[in-house]
Amino acid sequence: MKPPPFSYHDPSSVGEVISLLGNLENPKLLAGGQSLMPMLNMRYVLPDHVIDLNKVDGLSYINENGGTISIGGMTRQRDLEDSDVIKAKCPLMHDALLQVGHRQTRNRGTIGGSLSHLDPAAELPAVCAAHDAVIVVQGPNGERDIPFAEFPIAYMTPATEMDELLTGIKIPTWAEGHGYAFVEFARRHGDFAITSAAALLEVGEDGAITRASLTIGGVGAAPVRMSDIEQALIGQSGDEEKLRELCEAGREIDALGDVYASSEYRQHLATVMSRRALVKAYDRATGKA
Amino acid sequence: MGETKKISLSVNGKSYEEEVEVRFHLADFLRQQLGLTGTHLGCEHGVCGACTILLNGRSVRSCLLLAVQADGQEITTIEGIAPSEDEMHPLQEAFRDNHGLQCGFCTPGMLTTLIEFLGDNPDPTEREVREAISGNLCRCTGYQGIVAAALDAAQRLREAKGA
């Protein structure tokens, strides 16, 4: 099992990457390689050119400024996992990262690679959906922002053009003390989730929910925001029976079925994972967990 | 032979300068070109963990890295963890004493994974050890001895540090 022959390029600037993308036939960008390398080894992809992003300057950073966290596309998942900024300001991402593969893959895997690969069951795209993240891409005509809601255009297909590079992610943070939870159902620890749920909640002093975000991963072709449930949550307390009832809407998601799980089973898991995530997020917001 | 590139890297403290085919992954380079066959290859798609090595001190799958990407980097393989020819690493001792070796196929990946893990977490719980090796498949399914060895090694390493 060997990768097919290709030409290798290791540019050092974003400008060089974009000009290579524009000039080469059938190129493929190599970020952390935790998805592309298996696909090369098994010859699922046959690129004529591999453009390695690991020597490109300035794509690995985590900054927080005025309610927005900015993350470079080549920031390793392990560096995000260890980041105090992420732990404090975007704890949902920290929760999710602990379920992304294993330490050995997080040591190489990057956030930009994960978002560009856009596996429907991957954790980081679900976190970006939950937080209404903005994806920053750079192309021959400069930089543009893509709201995450418009980023997946089809199964494993991001809105990035062929001559564009994902350079960064901007994540709006939630109020301090907000509740969060990322829960998933997988066959083994570190496997891709069969179904996952990401919840964010802000809760008032009277215990009523004032702001809610609920995302289901692994069920649709891309992470799905459950906006009807989000609206219905406003004003609710964390009563588990009520949450269970609201989460029944998960059975209506247009679900994928495969050899691991039927679409009905995924829809069922969507209801269970949503409830667990909301209960955990509510308990965290109210200091019970 | 396809496109090649000259790389220089350090493996187990020894410097190498090699012409390598760009499509070669690091595990094949280590095994076939440098003759360091201690790094094992199981699945070659990042699932089994047998090929785990240390890249600048961090555990990574060597089948998911191109050899050319190791240019200028420091690699440690299973051949490089013992302090000397006639002395074993505490993890190796603990694996021998706790029946953690068994068929030996997953061992190089288990040890490199655990070196990084125990460096970060010198006093782990059993559950933490199980999670740490969740990306390393033992085809004998003999995890019990491996977990016992890891916990024993953690204690030996703590004692050595304290001594």
Q: Secondary structure of A183-232 in the HEC alphabet? A: EEECCCCCCCCCEEEEEEEEECCCCCEEEEEEEEECCCCCCEECHHHHHH
Residue A228 Cα to chain centre, angstroms: 21
DSSP per residue, A146-179: EEGGGSEEETTEES--TT-EEEEEEEEPPPTT-E
Is A187 within a domain? yes
A253 with A202, same domain: the answer is: yes
The confidence score (pLDDT) of residue B34 equals: 98
Final residue in a domain of this structure, among A130, A157, A172: A172
Q: SS3 of A111, please?
A: helix
A127 with A193, same domain: the answer is: no
Is A57 within a domain? no
Contact: B49, A102; criterion CB under 8 Å: yes
A70 with A164, same domain: the answer is: yes
The model's confidence at residue B52, banded by pLDDT at 50, 70 and 90, is very high
CB-based contact A214:A278 (threshold 8 Å): yes
Who contacts B133 (Cβ-Cβ below 8 Å, separation ≥6)? Answer: B49, B110, B113, B114, B143, B146, B147, B150
| The length of chain A, given as a count of residues | 289
Q: How many domains does chain A have?
A: 3
- Per DSSP bridges, beta strands A7-9 and A49-52 are parallel
A115 with A78, same domain: the answer is: yes
* pLDDT greater than 80 at residue B48: yes
CA–CA dist B162, B153 (Å, integer): 14
Instruction: Tell whether A105 is within 8 A of chain B (Cβ).
Output: yes
Chain A CA closest to residue B64: A37
The model's pLDDT over A46-81, given as tens digits with 9 standing for 90+, comes to 999 999 999 999 999 999 999 999 999 999 999 999
Question: Residues 2..31 of A with a Cβ closer than 8 Å to B: which?
Answer: 2-8, 10, 30
Question: Residues 73..132 of B with a Cβ closer than 8 Å to A: which?
Answer: 113, 116-117, 131-132
CB-based contact A221:A154 (threshold 8 Å): yes
CA–CA dist B23, B60 (Å, integer): 18
Chain A CA closest to residue B50: A104
The tokens describing A87, both together, are: 């732990």
- H or E element in which residue A180 lies: strand A179-185
Chain B CA closest to residue A55: B69
Comparing CB atoms, the residue among A1, A7, A107 nearest residue B58 is A107
Instruction: Tell whether B2 is within 8 A of chain A (Cβ).
Output: yes
- Chain B residues in contact with A4 by the CB 8 A cut-off are 23
> What are the pLDDT tens digits along chain A (289 aa)?
589 999 999 999 999 999 999 999 999 999 999 999 999 999 999 999 999 999 999 999 999 999 999 999 999 999 999 999 999 999 999 999 999 999 999 999 999 999 999 999 999 999 999 999 999 999 999 999 999 999 999 999 999 999 999 999 999 999 999 999 999 999 888 888 999 999 999 999 999 999 999 999 999 899 999 999 999 999 999 899 999 999 999 999 999 898 889 999 999 999 999 999 999 999 999 988 7
A122 with A72, same domain: the answer is: yes
CB-based contact B68:B2 (threshold 8 Å): no
Question: CATH: 1.10.150.120, 1.10.3720.10, 3.40.50.10540, 3.40.190.10. Which one for B90-162?
Answer: 1.10.150.120
CA–CA dist B34, A94 (Å, integer): 39
A117 with A192, same domain: the answer is: no
Domain coverage including residue A258? 179-285
CA atoms within 13 A on the CB side of A168: 20
CA–CA dist B66, A31 (Å, integer): 12
CB-based contact B40:B65 (threshold 8 Å): no
A135 with A225, same domain: the answer is: no
The confidence score (pLDDT) of residue A128 equals: 98
A187 with A237, same domain: the answer is: yes
Give domain limits for chain B.
Answer: 4-80, 90-162
CB-based contact A147:A168 (threshold 8 Å): no
pTM of the model as a whole = 0.95
Contact: B64, A4; criterion CB under 8 Å: no
> Which regions of chain B does DSSP assign to beta strands (E)?
4-11, 14-21, 52-55, 58-61, 74-76
Contact: A41, B45; criterion CB under 8 Å: yes
* CATH number assigned to the domain comprising residue A258: 3.30.390.50
A159 with A68, same domain: the answer is: yes
CATH class of B4-80: alpha beta
Is A2 within a domain? no
Unique residue bearing structure tokens 């990574």: B60
User: Strands across the sheet with A62-65, in order?
Assistant: A62-65, A68-72, A165-172, A134-139, A142-147
CA–CA dist A202, A282 (Å, integer): 8
The confidence score (pLDDT) of residue A270 equals: 97
* CATH number assigned to the domain comprising residue A128: 3.30.465.10
ipTM above 0.85, yes or no: yes
A154 with A203, same domain: the answer is: no
CA–CA dist A68, A58 (Å, integer): 19
* pLDDT greater than 80 at residue B1: no
CA distances (Å), origin B25, targets A1, B28, B31, B51: 10, 6, 10, 11
- Chain B residues in contact with A38 by the CB 8 A cut-off are 44-46, 64
Contact: B49, A190; criterion CB under 8 Å: no
- Chain B residues in contact with A3 by the CB 8 A cut-off are 23, 25, 66
Comparing CB atoms, the residue among A4, A10, A37 nearest residue B46 is A37
Who contacts A251 (Cβ-Cβ below 8 Å, separation ≥6)? Answer: A267, A268, A270, A271
A33 min Cα distance to partner chain B (Å): 6
Is A22 within a domain? yes
Is A1 within a domain? no
A144 with A192, same domain: the answer is: no
The model's pLDDT over A118-133, given as tens digits with 9 standing for 90+, comes to 999 999 999 999 999 9
CA–CA dist B118, B91 (Å, integer): 10
Who contacts A141 (Cβ-Cβ below 8 Å, separation ≥6)? Answer: none
The confidence score (pLDDT) of residue A288 equals: 81
Final residue in a domain of this structure, among A126, A156, A172: A172
**Percentage of chain B modeled with pLDDT above 90:** 94
Who contacts A241 (Cβ-Cβ below 8 Å, separation ≥6)? Answer: none
- Chain A residues in contact with B65 by the CB 8 A cut-off are 33, 37, 108
Interface test with A, best of B1, B19, B24, B59 (most A CBs within 10 A): B59
- Inter-chain CB pairs, A–B, below 8 Å: 92
